């Protein structure tokens, strides 16, 4: 296990300025030009994260829990460097392996082989690394010659095999995950689960954003509760799950 990885967030906020549907139409652009001064006073800003302070050290397996829209995925994306904080500071030491946003990077018209490269780059691998592991990734998919065909010809199970094979061929000191990727048929699922377990065991840090209580209990030793973009509680998995489940029942 990597012992040097760490993550520090100080007062991190993420805001999204949102254009409403009305604002995007041609007519409304014209109207907007006329009414710009009036609208300028009330921009649509969604605050997805608000003043997040977090210290995660090697050995931590951190669950992020919270209701829909609480900010879990946004936090994962900030940790992965996909989103930059609107305010605050972030320091991540160690390479992140991003095993969420499963469809990111794929091109329906490109072949399986081409998509291995595309997806690998998206999840944080280097080009040389993917080239070096191309044969191994292809073998793990068990898709054979079908890897020469465009992705649009794949079944959903085949697509998942490809996603999984790429994801788990790359090492990361920090593993960012939303759900355990449940992949394909029974035989492949067993092999996939084993591979994922190994990756998580080797990682210095795991951050898991999930609603799956059993998965969190069996995997994590710390948890934080997000509510409307803020951390409202942090502690052991048991403490935080009790609080989260209690709030959900209330
Ligand atoms: N690109 C975006 N533009 C505008 N608002 C966004 C964007 N991404 C997220 N949000 C908003 O930020 C908030 C947090 O969203 P996020 O996806 O992080 O929640 P979540 O906790 O992962 O939710 P879920 O459990 O439903 O997946 C929500 O209010 C969401 O509507």
The CATH number for 68's domain is: 3.40.50.300
Going by pLDDT thresholds of 50, 70 and 90, the confidence category of residue 233 is: very high
Query: pLDDT value at position 250?
Result: 63
pLDDT digits (tens, 9 = 90+) for 103-146: 788 899 999 999 999 988 888 788 998 999 999 999 999 999 99
CB-facing half-sphere around the CA of 55: CA atoms within 13 A = 1
206 vs 156, higher pLDDT: 206
Going by pLDDT thresholds of 50, 70 and 90, the confidence category of residue 22 is: low
Distance 74 CA to ligand 1 centre (A): 6
Going by pLDDT thresholds of 50, 70 and 90, the confidence category of residue 91 is: very high
ipTM of the complex: 0.97
d(CA 49, CA 231): 9
d(CA 56, CA 187): 35
Say what the pTM is. Answer: 0.84
Q: What are phi and psi of 63, to 5 degrees?
A: -95, 135
Query: pLDDT value at position 58?
Result: 94
Distance 16 CA to ligand 1 centre (A): 10
Number of domains in the chain: 1
Structural domain includes residue 102: no
Structural domain includes residue 119: no
Structural domain includes residue 216: yes
Query: Over the chain, what is the mean pLDDT?
Result: 86
DSSP class of residue 146?
G
H or E segment and range at residue 244: helix 237-249
Q: At which residue do the structure tokens 């509680």 appear?
A: 233
Pocket flag, ligand 1, residue 78 (CB < 6 Å): no
Structural domain includes residue 213: yes
Structural domain includes residue 224: yes
Pocket flag, ligand 1, residue 44 (CB < 6 Å): no
Task: Look up residue 81 and give its two tokens.
Answer: 């460097």
Query: pLDDT value at position 181?
Result: 66
Supply angle C-alpha 130, 162, 119, rounded to 5. 45
Structural domain includes residue 86: yes
H or E segment and range at residue 164: helix 156-169
The sign of the CA dihedral 234, 124, 51, 178 is: negative
Query: pLDDT value at position 147?
Result: 97
Domain that holds residue 75: 6-95+209-249
Pocket flag, ligand 1, residue 46 (CB < 6 Å): yes
Structural domain includes residue 29: yes
Structural domain includes residue 181: no
| Residue 47 CA, closest ligand 1 atom number | 12
């Amino acid at each position: 296990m990597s012992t040097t990885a760490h993550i520090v967030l100080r007062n991190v906020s993420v805001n999204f300025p949102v254009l409403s549907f009305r604002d995007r139409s041609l007519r409304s652009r014209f109207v907007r030009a006329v009414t710009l001064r009036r609208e300028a006073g009330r921009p649509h800003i969604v605050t997805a994260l608000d003043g997040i302070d977090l210290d995660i050290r090697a050995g931590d397996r951190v669950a992020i829990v919270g209701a829909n829209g609480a900010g879990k995925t946004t936090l994962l994306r900030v940790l992965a460097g996909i989103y930059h904080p609107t305010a605050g500071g972030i320091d991540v030491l160690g390479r992140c392996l991003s095993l969420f946003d499963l469809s990111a990077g794929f091109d329906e018209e490109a072949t399986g082989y081409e998509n291995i490269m595309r997806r690998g780059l998206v999840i944080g691998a280097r080009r040389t690394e993917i080239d070096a592991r191309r044969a191994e990734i292809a073998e793990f998919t068990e898709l054979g010659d079908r890897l020469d065909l465009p992705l649009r010809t794949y079944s959903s199970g085949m697509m998942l095999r490809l996603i999984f094979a790429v994801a788990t061929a790359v090492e990361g000191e920090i593993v960012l995950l939303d759900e355990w990727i449940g992949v394909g048929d029974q035989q492949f699922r067993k092999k996939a689960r084993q591979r994922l377990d190994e990756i998580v065991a080797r990682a210095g840090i795991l951050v898991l954003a999930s609603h799956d209580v059993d998965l969190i209990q069996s995997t994590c030793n710390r948890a934080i509760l997000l509510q409307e973009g803020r951390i409202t509680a942090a502690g052991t998995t048991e403490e935080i799950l009790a609080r989260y489940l209690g709030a959900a029942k209330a």
